[in-house]
Structure 1
Amino acid sequence: MTWVAFSVFIITLLFILLASGVWIAIALMTTGMSGLYLAGGAKTLLSLGSISWNSINSFTLSPVPLFIVMGAIILRCGVAQRFYAALAIWLRFLPGGLLQSNIVSCSVFAAACGSSVATAGTIGTVTIPELKARGYDDRLIFGSLAAGGTLGILIPPSIIMIIYCSIVEVSVAKLFIAGVVPGLVLAVAFMGYIGLRCLLNPSLAPAHSETVTLGEKLRSLGDILPLFGLIFFVMGSIYLGWATATEAAAIGVLASVIIAALYRGLSWENVKEAHLSAVRTTCMVLVIVVAAQVFSYALVYSGVSRSLTGWVIGLDLPVFVLFLAIVVLYIFLGCLIDGASMMLLTLPVLFPIINAAGFDLIWFGVMVVVLIEIGMITPPIGLNLFVLHGIGQGTPYTDVARGALPYVCLMLGFLLLMWFVPGLALWLPDQMTVAR
């Protein structure tokens, strides 16, 4: 069987399984095992044990459960509500008022918990009733929450980044640091868009009549500084070379426990639920990683990866055209499957191609994360949109999706900016000292 026929078989089988509603891990595993059997017979299936062990016996993946525990503890100790209320006191003077607080609080909270969906849902639960009661525009409310929530997988620590590093074998610490500037630039772009819209049409965000004293502002710092301190402590230890990503994750867990205790949220029930959530999420992630590695091995063993890479390179496409083709591919897939699955599905095929084309793997990692962010707020399978619609107090799904559309355009514009100014992602990693 030629590599083209084999590729058609693999792709067709995979999409039939996905379209039938089979879990992504089972679809990848079934497709990979079928491909191995087709390429080399039953003897090739003897390698599944080694593939599974080598996939998860990885120091690169060891921060995953720790960062998940850290985020789960933060989610359950009441930080989100108090942090948002305190931040709103400081930001209400900006054009857009509390909408600006949505972006900043989502950015910071997402950096602490590492989950876009959890961030959008948690902050949305706190803010949507308040903003609706004050007469804010529905589309701006949901758009700001959906877009702000996506920053959780770009501003480190990020589980998606760790999985990417385990596949392409680059430094987790460097990719974490590479996401900082792009994340901040996107947050500022989102805030600028909100401010401009509200300056042009003040009725979108009614003005606040309440006055805030200096004493209230100073007292609110007690609800802001602990979360900022957690993020700077974790990321600073990585950037300065004091700790590996795994060690920094352990530091983060300890710091999150201390914060939970300060907020009097460190109950046995909260701790138990945080760890159960971490076990569930970690198991889900690792099963998908193993299935993706089986799928990847099938592509390598059959020669598809090598042949496809040679064919693409033989086309002699301009590098910018290849970049645009990858963007289009991810946008299309982002409308159909979730971000982690999309990355695990495509990287085995794309990795040799981008390597041969000379793409910097740290820069490409940031680009992939931004594309996954776009997928999280594009219908029909935009997870952030579903979550916000579920807590939206009767707001139509179309309004939620339309509210997120301008932010999709901002992200696409940012990808072009990152193509022409790669230093946005690469400058900070080039300055850092990586721990051991």
Structure 2
Amino acid sequence: MSDAVMSFIFVAVLIGSLALGLWVSIALFVTGLVGIVLFSNAPLLSVLATNMWSTSAEWSLAALPLFIWMGEILFRSRMSKDLFSGLAPWMRSLPGGLGHVGVLASGLFAAVSGSSAATCATVAKVAVPELKARGYDEKLILGTVAGSATLGLLIPPSIILIVYGVAAELSIARLFIAGVLPGVMVIGLFMGYVAIWSAKNRDKVPPKDPPVSFVQKLKATRTLLPVALLIIGVVGSIYLGLASPTDSAAVGVVIALLLSWLFGDLNWKTFKEGLISATLSSSMIAFILAGSAFLTIAMGYANLPANIARWISDMGISTYGLLAVLTVFFIVMGCFLDGISIVVLTTAVLLPAVQAAGIDPIWFGIYLVLVVEMGQLTPPVGLNLFVLQGMTGRDIVFISKAAFPFFALLIVAVVLVVLFPKIVLVLPEMMYG
């Protein structure tokens, strides 16, 4: 049977399963099952059992539920409100004023949550009503929050980078540090847009708040100390070589619980809600990863990944051409699938082809996260759009239009890391050689 026919069967079964409304994880298992039955003589039950055990027993995955739980704890604490009050005094004098707070608050919360949806919900809960009450343009507010919340996928500790690292068998610590400079770059692009938009639309921006003294700014900044302590505890312990990503996740949960308890936000109700929510999210991701690994084995029996890699190499397409095609492909996929599903569905198939084209897998991981971030802003499955719709009552079309400039800026970010790959690779090379 030709590669084209086998590829068509895999794709048709997967799309058909998803179209029938099956969970992504179940659709992956069904597709893998069909592939093994049709294209190999391997013992199905033995392959399935061995695969599910080896995938779920991967030690790197232990960090996943811990980081998710940490984000859930913070979501239910007053620290999200403290982000706004601590940043606001410093933003008053900038063009765009407090419009920048949503960007920076998202960047800081992303550094302790690892989730785009959690970042979006947390920042929106505080920033949207506060900025609307001050007279800021609603489209700017919603677009800023929706776009900036995607930083939860990029800035470490990123859940999706853990997933990619496990799927691609790469160092998660290297991936984490590779995401730092691109994350800072995206924050700069978003803040630059807010400043330029505000300068051109002065009638839609309220007058600047009265300036405050430097001492008052420092006093307000004290509210950021708990978040700073959490970031140092989690990210600092990884970069200083004191802890692995899994160990640092445990440290983060302990610090988050202690801070939430000290602030009086931790009680049995919030503890139980956060734990249950983290368990559900972690189980969903683990099940998807197991299904993806099973499908990968099925495709391996059919020799598809190697053949696709050879086919792309034989095409003679340039690296830039390959990345342009992949970018369009991922944007289209982002319209229908969530980010984690996209990563686990494509990594095993595309990574051999990407490496054959001479692309660094660490760089490709950050590129992949950037293009997956766009999917958080594209209907009909843009998760950040749904979060904001539920919190504001605005229709999805209005929120999509508000988020479009930030979608375009993410394309600019992709172009920049393609043209200047050192933005991604310089820190991992400095720290790990």
How high is the TM-score relative to the length of structure 1? 0.96
- 1:108-257 alignment, distance < 5 Å: 108-210=108-210, 212=212, 216-257=216-257
Matches of 1:216 and 1:263 in 2, distance apart? 22
1:258 paired residue number: 258
Amino acid at match of 2:32: G
Instruction: Quote the Cα distance in structure 2 between the aligned partners of 1:337 and 1:264.
Output: 38
Please tell me the residue identity of whatever aligns with 1:95.
Answer: P
| Letter of the 1:75 counterpart | F
Contact 1:99 1:141 (C-alpha < 8 Å) held by counterparts:
yes
Cα distance in 2 between the residues matched to 1:396 and 1:97: 27
Q: 1:405 to 1:286 in 2, by over 3 A?
A: same
Number of residue pairs the alignment of both structures matches: 433
Q: In structure 2, how many angstroms separate the alpha carbons of the residues matched to 1:356 and 1:65?
A: 33
Which whole-Å deviations, capped at 9, do the CAs of 1:355-377 have from their partners, x for residues lacking one?
21121011000001111111101
Q: CA RMSD in A?
A: 1.6
**Larger displacement relative to structure 2 (306-315 or 95-104):** 306-315
Deviation at 1:44, TM superposition (A): 3.4
Structure 1 letter corresponding to 2:117 = V
Describe the superposition over 1:191-240 as per-residue Cα deviations: whole angstroms up to 9, x where unpaired. 00000110111122212445545554333222112102211232121112
Q: How far apart are 1:87 and its partner, in Å?
A: 1.4
Deviation at 1:299, TM superposition (A): 0.7
- Matched residue type, 2:370: V
Answer with 153-162 or 53-62: which moved more: 53-62
The whole-number CA distance in structure 2 between the counterparts of 1:125 and 1:236 is 28
Between the aligned partners of 1:42 and 1:257, the Cα distance in structure 2 is: 47
- Contact 2:72–2:118 (Cα < 8 Å) also in 1: no
- Per mean C-alpha deviation after superposition, the further-off stretch among 27-36 and 394-403 is 394-403
- In the TM superposition, what are the counterparts of 1:281-430 in structure 2 within 5 Å? 281-392=281-392, 394-430=393-429
1:39 aligns with 2:23: no
CA offset at residue 402 of structure 1? 1.0
- 1:367 and 1:214 map into 2 onto residues whose CA distance is 39
**Judging changes above 3 Å, is the alpha-carbon distance between structure 1 residues 396 and 72 closer, same or farther for their aligned structure 2 residues?**
closer
- Counterpart position of 1:96: 96
Amino acid at match of 1:413: V
Question: Retained in 2: the 8 A contact 1:241–1:432?
Answer: no
**Amino acid of the residue matched to residue 269 of structure 1?**
K
Counterparts of 1:98 and 1:307, CA distance in 2: 53
CA distance in 2, matches of 1:3, 1:181: 40
Q: Is contact 2:71–2:118 with CA below 8 Å preserved after alignment? A: no
Tell which deviates more after alignment, 403-412 or 215-224.
215-224
Separation in 2 of the partners of 1:277 and 1:386? 18
Paired AA for residue 96 in structure 1? G
CA distance in 1, matches of 2:194, 2:345: 35
After superposing the two structures, state which structure 1 stretch, 214-223 or 316-325, moved more. 214-223
Per the alignment, residue 105 of structure 1 pairs with 105
Instruction: Provide the C-alpha distance between the structure 1 equivalents of 2:122 and 2:408, rounded to a whole number of angstroms.
Output: 25
Select between 368-377 and 259-268 the one with higher mean Cα deviation: 259-268
Contact kept, 8 Å, 1:378 with 1:401, in 2: the verdict is yes
Of the structure 1 ranges 413-422 and 124-133, higher mean CA displacement relative to structure 2 is found in 124-133
* In 1: Cα distance, 2:115 partner to 2:165 partner: 17
What amino acid is the match of 1:113?
Answer: S
Answer whether contact 2:92 2:209 (CA < 8 A) is retained.
Answer: no
Aligned-pair CA distance for 1:244:
1.0
Deviation at 1:136, TM superposition (A): 1.6
TM-score between both structures, scaled by the size of structure 2: 0.96
Q: What's the counterpart of residue 49 of structure 2?
A: 49
SS at 2:359 equivalent: coil
CA contact (8 A) 2:112 2:234 kept: no
- Quote the Cα distance in structure 2 between the aligned partners of 1:209 and 1:2: 68
> Counterpart of 2:128 in structure 1: which amino acid?
I
CA shift in 2, pair 1:243/1:209, >3 Å: closer
Which segment is superposed worse, 83-92 or 181-190? Answer: 83-92
Report the alpha carbon displacement of residue 3 of structure 1 after superposing the two structures with TM: 2.0
Query: SS in structure 1 opposite 2:241?
Result: coil
1:9 Cα shift? Answer: 1.0
Which has the larger displacement, 165-174 or 210-219?
A: 210-219
- 1:271-320 CA distance string (max 9 Å, x none): 22222222111111110000000111111111112222221111111111
Instruction: Pick closer, same or farther for the CA change 1:317–1:209 going to 2, 3 Å.
Output: closer
**Equivalent pair of 1:389/1:400 in contact (CA under 8 Å):** yes
C-alpha separation in 2, matches of 1:45 and 1:302: 18
Unaligned runs of 5+ in 1: none
- Preserved contact between residue 112 and residue 231 of structure 1 (Cα < 8 Å): yes
**Residues 126-135 or 409-418, more deviating:** 126-135
Counterpart residue identity of residue 200, structure 2: L
Q: Which segment is superposed worse, 217-226 or 63-72?
A: 217-226
How much does 1:93 deviate?
Answer: 2.0
Letter in 1 for 2:401: R
Question: Which amino acid is the alignment partner of residue 399 of structure 1?
Answer: F
3-state DSSP of counterpart to 1:418: helix
Q: Specify every segment of 5 or more residues in structure 2 that has no aligned partner in the other structure, as ranges.
A: none
Write the distance in 1 (CA, Å) between the matches of 2:323 and 2:215.
52
The whole-number CA distance in structure 2 between the counterparts of 1:260 and 1:433 is: 35
